[in-house]
Amino acid sequence: MTSRSAPDRLLAVLAAFDHAHPALSLSDIGRRAGLTLTTAHRLVGALTEWGALERDASGLYHVGLRLWEIAALAPRGLALRQVALPYLEDLYEATHENVQLAVRDGSEVVYTEWISGRSAVGVHIRVGARWPLHVTGVGLVLLAHGDATFQETYCAGRLASYTAHTVTDPARLRRMLAEVRRTGVAVSSRQVTDDALSVAAPVRGPGGTVVAAVSVVVPHADAQVPVLAPAVRVAARGISRALGWQPEGARD
């Protein structure tokens, strides 16, 4: 078995932390990272000194603020969130429903912001959460506007199912993606939980490329898609303009 490089071991220590394990003891880190206690102790010490990790009074380690500082520089992370937040808040005020912003990371959608609305739905999203692209409104938008080769590879792969309504037929998924491109919005109904429906629209960067997606998530039983779709489109266009995008007709 090939031994891991020093950078690989450092990354393994950081990867030991996730939403289910935000606080870990030294032995937990070693076990989850696949390292000996001696190696874990050395690497955790270096990361703590640098500020990537912090140790609390009980001896448990947490992700440090130094990583938060660096993450704030990510154009698709906190930087995007700062630009988008006023428009997300406007969308919330217009609908009082669950509002979310997300980006694509490989074959998954990653949520970078979530504003909780008055309607309770079974799916609970948190910042940093991930879902397969085909099961959410934001994911469908990001998949529909992705590279054609990537889309075909995704549709031909295993499509995870979460409810009886999750789309797992490649031909049907391709038709849905074409409809998203035609209408400018995606509707995902009861794909993650039986009670939730989301309406999403694309966020474009300066060159017109889709860089993110915004959506509202509401109970399926009383969802009014014709009312929600225009509000979501307005928010998405506002964020796009703030990022530097201009509609074709508005360009010099």
Domain assignment present for residue 252? The answer is: no
- Residue that is last in its domain, among 70, 89, 108: 70
CB 23 within 8 A of CB 62: yes
Residues 106 and 231 in one domain: yes
Q: Give the position of tokens 């609305």.
A: 117
Calculate the dihedral angle through the C-alpha atoms of 134, 162, 116, 22, rounding to the nearest 10 degrees: -100
For residues 128 and 237, membership in a common domain is answered with yes
E strands, 43-195, in order: 53-55, 61-63, 98-105, 108-115, 130-132, 186-189
pTM, full prediction: 0.74
Same domain, 90 and 66: no
Is 250 within a domain?
A: no
- Decide which of 70, 102, 120 is a domain's last residue: 70
Domain coverage including residue 41: 6-70
200 phi, psi to nearest 5 deg: -130, 155
Q: Please give the pLDDT value at position 68.
A: 76
State the average pLDDT over residues 71-82.
70
In this predicted model, what pLDDT tens digit does every residue of 134-171 receive, in sequence order?
999 999 999 999 999 999 999 999 999 999 999 999 99
Predicted confidence at residue 6, as pLDDT, reads 87
Give burial (CB, 10 Å; 0-12/13-18/19+) of 57: exposed
**Same domain, yes or no: 104 and 146:** yes
Task: Tell me if 193 is assigned to some domain.
Answer: yes
Give the type of residue at 81. Answer: R
The answer to whether residue 249 is domain-embedded is no
Please check whether residue 248 lies inside any domain of the structure.
no
pLDDT (tens digit per residue) in 193-237: 888 999 999 999 988 999 999 999 999 888 889 999 999 999 999
Number of domains in the chain: 2
Number of neighbours of residue 35 by Cβ within 10 angstroms: 20
Domain end, chosen from 70, 91, 123, is at 70
